[in-house]
Amino acid sequence: MKNNKLGASVKELVKKLIISVRENPKRDGLKQTPERVARAYKELLSGYSQNPENTLKLFNSNGFHELVTVGNIDFYSLCEHHMLPFFGKVHIGYVPNRKILGLSKFARIVEIYSRRLQNQENLTKQIFDFISEKLSPKGLIVLIEAKHLCVSMRGIKNNGFITKTVVKKGLLKTRQDLYKQFYQNIEIKS
């Protein structure tokens, strides 16, 4: 029932938006737009209804204590300031302590947090904090590089603009060799 109410209110808002820009919501190409937008936002904001804890699949590291890099995880999110998309790649590196995480779970964690209204800084920190808490790694780094449509489509209108955010701790903060290896692994110059 709650989802039906939400869907109905989104449809009503979209219809009002269409009217406010002096368009006809009954026009052929726009008749189904409120319904389509409601479905799209339900999917784009599905991270609110998902718990990243449910994605966890931890394994014993069996004494492996070297750098693990999971890179080029695609993500799409909505900026909390303009509700316009921002998208890019997430790169994660960690040095296991006692546990490792199933590799596909990193992408699931990224997807859950990115499917919420976000800003890039918070998204980086949320992914970092979750992995840090659940794995207690000896070192961790999360780097996100993204394009923001609020910069490309409005305001400064700069298409070449890429934002990079990074959070690191432990061995990936103190050992330059691991830090450089991470950047080599993801093929970005540090």
Mark whether 37 and 70 lie in a shared domain: no
Question: Do 56 and 37 share a structural domain?
Answer: no
In a domain, 128, yes or no: yes
Give the tens place of pLDDT for each residue, 73-86.
Answer: 999 999 999 999 99
CATH, residue 163: 3.30.1130.10
110 and 33 together in one domain:
no
What positions carry a catalytic annotation? 79-82, 120, 148, 150
Q: What is the tens place of the pLDDT at every residue in 134-159? A: 999 999 999 999 999 988 888 777 77
Backbone angles phi, psi at 24, to 5 degrees: -105, 110
Q: What is the predicted pLDDT for the residue at 3?
A: 61
* In-domain check, residue 141: yes
- Is 91 assigned to a binding site? no
* Residue 32 is assigned to a ligand binding site: no
> 0.75 exceeded by the pTM?
yes
Q: Report residues of the chain scoring pLDDT below 70.
A: 1-4, 6, 188-190
Confirm or deny that 150 is annotated as ligand binding: yes
Full residue range of the structural domain in which residue 181 is found: 51-185
DSSP symbols for 28-74: GGGTTHHHHHHHHHHHHTGGGG--GGGG--EEE-TT--S-EEEEEEE
- Which residues, 6 or more positions from 131, have their beta carbon under 8 angstroms from its beta carbon? 92, 94, 101, 106, 109, 137, 140, 142
- Residue 80 belongs to a domain: yes
User: Which pLDDT score is estimated for 159?
Assistant: 74
Q: Within a domain: residue 190?
A: no
Specify the pLDDT at position 45: 96
Residue 174 main-chain phi, psi, to 5 deg: -100, -25
Task: Please tell me whether residues 126 and 74 are part of one structural domain.
Answer: yes
- The answer to whether residue 94 sits within a structural domain is yes
**What CATH code is carried by the domain that includes residue 6?**
1.10.286
